[in-house]
Structure 1
Amino acid sequence: MGRLMTVATCSLNQWALDFEGNLARIKESIHEAKRRGAHLRCGPELEVCGYGCLDHFLEADLYLHCWEMCLMILTDETCNDILLDIGMPVIHRNNRFNCRIIALNGKILLIRPKLWLANDGNYREMRYFIPWDRPTHVEEYYLPRMIAKVQGSQKVPIGDAVISTPDTCFGAETCEELFTPNSPHNTMGLNGVEIFTNSSGSHHSLRKLDTRISLIQEATRKNGGVYLYSNQQGCDGDRLYYDGCAMVIVNGEIIAQGSQFSLNDVEVITAVVDIEEVRAYRFAPSRGIQSLRAPTYRRIETTFSLSTGENDFDPKAVPSSRRALRVHKPEEEIALGPACWLWDYLRRSKAAGFLVPLSGGIDSCATAVIVFSMCRIVMDALKEGNAQVNADVQRVAGAYEAEGWLPKTPQELCNRIFHTVYMGMASQSSKETRSRAERLARDIGSYHTDMNIDDVFHAEKNLLTQSTGFEPNFKVHGGTVAANLALQNIQARTRMVTAYYFAQMLPSVRGRPGGGGLLVLGSANVDEALRGYLTKYDCSSADINPIGSISKTDLKRFISWARHSFSLPILEEFIEATPTAELEPITSDYVQSDEADMGMTYVELSVFGKLRKEAKLGPYGMFQRLLHDWKDQYSPREVAVKVKRFHHFYAINRHKMTTITPAYHAEGYSPDDNRFDLRPFLYPAQYDSWSFKRIDEEVERLEKMGLGVGKAEG
């Protein structure tokens, strides 16, 4: 019996509904796997059509086109002599299923539907599919005529089965199934399955990779076996970035790991495994007894072997050695994930570049530095000879240059595709913020414009006076709260309109052939969105936002890291600066401060966000939790004030999330209303709510017990 087997898994940068492009990438991965000697290839979830098709999964056209792409794989002889595990949706008995197509030499061996569907957070699979809620059940699937013609039969098995070869047995599980308590690999392993494939559409979230890999390692530490993990990589048309990291794990040990962030459209990971290690690992009698009691799987037989023969000693075929897990720090994840997402969005949207209103504050600074990071990653890919990146750079950035032009530095690339605009007010914008913006733009190479918007502001402000005779003033000039807010909003919204105007015209100003507009980038962080500390339709309104789901605290860590890693000393000034919107006049004794305006710190906002979304706590539950967590900082009454203040402003500003700019998803407490955080946007008056009354009752009870002395101001 042969013992050494070469297996392949991959990360593919698929794009929703890009059928021909997806097909080309699938074929390229198959050819590369074969070139490396692999006899089994596993690809990402729903790779034929792209994972993020959303409601397109309800359209019959999509299923037809998937079968047409499948036919092209089956009839391409260059895809023969390798066992293929390919992902696509299938309609069976009028129901839609998320499936794996297991094929060999132009014939389908098995259609394996997904048993458990992802249906929380960013995922709504049960909106489109139903689970194959019958473990180990197999029946017949009637093939489309075009497939039946090359299959030589009208039917193939569909269901929860495994594939048996002369030298091993392999079974497939899909994404969410790994995360369930009783994963399919448990019963498959007890049934003698030695190789597991897992095909995923798993998105990046800060600090998430550890969890995913620990689950894969645990799967084979307990069961033994070879585990092939495949994942999509890149932006396939939505807020999510799928972060690849294809890997091969044997008996809980990593032996091959791909990149988590990359501009490669196709990345194939191969490993040589010794199947006898799996058999030796499964020695325990208790495991053997459990295997006799486990449900039995139907085995689909094939004469195709994954090993090379009975006596397959080959001095060149050496089992892959164990390696340490490679994980990026959160600061690096921010530098890499949103940057790769931005590059995919830019090249696929056919836009001419990006524009960001650069205020001199840390949020727009972080957005600009992420774009600069993108340029650095692109330059690395060019040095590595990435042909696709080369072509994309010449199309996007080379329009200003002669044919065949390529940048020599990240700054040179940044200057062609990234535009920054400082929009100040003479009475409100400080010299420090203007200077920081200008020097940051110079250091990263962006095409920078500096201007004042006073004329536009006063023209809009005077419209009310001319029409009604009423003249509003800022509060520092004796104005009301309503007038103060209205005048701030004029500036904020003026900056949004100006940003879009410049985004449309700057390519023409610079003489870019063929015109083409810029994508406007937003720079509101997740904490400001959570609190509603932003003007609706201000600079937070943009085309896309790379930091919209990243906390202020993580952004500060990222900027501190980038200051050294990117050799940008100017970033130190952004870290030390007091966060301010600069929407009110500066006087000798008053400078606007974000945290003072909000009545809470950014660190506290992050805590509120995690307790609200991740811990699933309402006002009263959050108050009870923070009584313990903040007992050394605040009295019960001070905790109550902060909790009630947060929920009040969250409630009255929730409507802003219905129009929030689509943002890169990074934090588990993102308030994105569009899919991740489904909550009302019209709430009852919070200070009259039952939850707030219960908090007040508890505060009074605790104060009577002598627990009312605080250590800080509320």
Structure 2
Amino acid sequence: MNYGFVKVAAAVPHVQVADCFYNIEKIERLMRQASEKGVQIMAFPELAVTAYTCLDLFAQQTLLDNAEKALLKLVNDTADLDILTFVGIPLRTENRLFNTAVAFQGGRILGVVPKTHLSNYKEFQEQRWFTSALELQKPTINICGQEYPLDNYLLFNSGHISVGIEICEDLWVPVPPSSLLAMKGANIIFNISASNELIGKHNYLSSLICQQSARCIAGYVYASSGFGESSTDLVFAGNGIIAENGNLLAKSPRFTMEEQLVVSEIDIETLQNDRMVNNSFMRGAAGLLKKETQTIDFEVRVPGGFELTRPVDPHPFTPSGDALKERCEEIFQIQVAGLAKRILHAHAQTAVVGISGGLDSTLALLVTVMTFDALKMPREQIIGITMPGFGTTGRTYNNAVNLIRSLGVTLKEISIKEACLQHFKDINHDPSVHDVTYENSQARERTQILMDVANQENGLVIGTGDLSELALGWATYNGDHMSMYGVNGSIPKTLVKYLVEWVANNRVDEASRLTLLDIVDTPISPELIPADENGNIKQKTEDLVGPYELHDFFLYHFLRFGSHPSKIYFLAQKAFAGAYDNATIKKWLYTFFRRFFQQQFKRSCLPDGPKVGSVSLSPRGDWRMPSDAVSRLWLEEIESLSL
């Protein structure tokens, strides 16, 4: 496999009802197109060899005999192709007719999967012709003199790839065969189908496919009949749908007279990681998996020049369009609910927030304001403290003061300069030496002020640090690293920006809006080094540790999927094509892993805070790592990456 990806396809060929040899010509042509695209596994619709709408012609020996002959011709004519292919065909055995999917590759039939659940209601009458797989007695089927495996629970395995098959109606029952196949190891499910179109049915079907892929933690490839099926009573629009673990990857247009070949990639590595992490996946399997599953080996082709066609989101934490509005509202609700519970439990009268004029403290203040509004507590009981230091610029200072005032919060200004100078004198540190002692003493002085004011006012210090800073260790230990409740601890930096911008455009008055938008545009900085000669920010975080959009991308794929650095590098190249060159991505990827391992000790003692998304670094939940773990394996892999 290429970085764990398997290239799959759902094909919708033209058919002519009962014209088997015409149909296999169309199937072969799509197989060859798929081969040129590097497809490794593909499927055609239910009964594609004959067409689904043959009705009582399924009882005609001429049709059934020629269907078998056409199948063998298709298998032989495509012997030069190494795509594992599933095609629908009616086959006879045990004096009965079965609706089946035949698996073949490289000129060989590998096995046959009969349909389990026959649709026999309203417009469907499959029991008129076919028998359910539940009534099978023999484990093999004879096709033109040769015996092949026959079972509704066949698995086709190649290394880490395990493929299961179900047919149309099988998906629609309460416990689909794919659920059991997944617990037996199938990580890609193919469904060959002939589902007619009705008003509203397509949206339901799409949600059903995505939901089943999520329940199975699997890829799901659905191929359904299209143009050419009989329109006597029904219309078939042609559906090729590919989903993975709840996410729709690709789909074909409907109601087109063109043949369809829908191609995407299933990420086997991430699916297996999710199954391993989600240890409830196999719960209850012992009571359900009574039937033995037969496995059949196949060879998966790994073509050269692998190209990933599925999109890679450069900002996985931040949805776009209408979804962003919904996401922002939900995030604030989670943060507010968490903080409200903590304030009530602690019987706190106030909340103390250190306001720097930067993104993180701004978001923490906004959450605090929303919480006090929800609790019907006056905003004046929130104390916003601005603490100018040696690196504070006029821009950030003014934004901090203006925001506190426009939100109706109580403002306190406490300069840290004199206290820090006294501290430098006490420890015999030269204040002209702008080293880590110089910087961290300021962060710790600010934290001391916040803690002491909270004690004075019977309040809680609301933490401002975000998820990205925690991952990189970009916080002063026992300085801004510490608080009494950290509302931003699960919010990555890229999302902080969107949240603040969303509030600016949707929730505040004009004065606050202008201030918030200027904060969004301000360079990210701890402002612990004096400004330049023009009074501008001199210490820019992203110049020192790298772009946060890259680090958030690395963080997501590392924690969410446990991905190798090499795979993260490969995905980042596609996601940030044209924005960062390979050397830049590799440089900051190395920085990310080096800092992530070095800074774990800060994450091992984080304050409480609400989990917001699927990625979190709380030592009490999602991430428990030894503080002295060694990063050598990860860094050596990055060093070996080619540019």
TM (norm. structure 1) is 0.44
TM (norm. structure 2) is 0.48
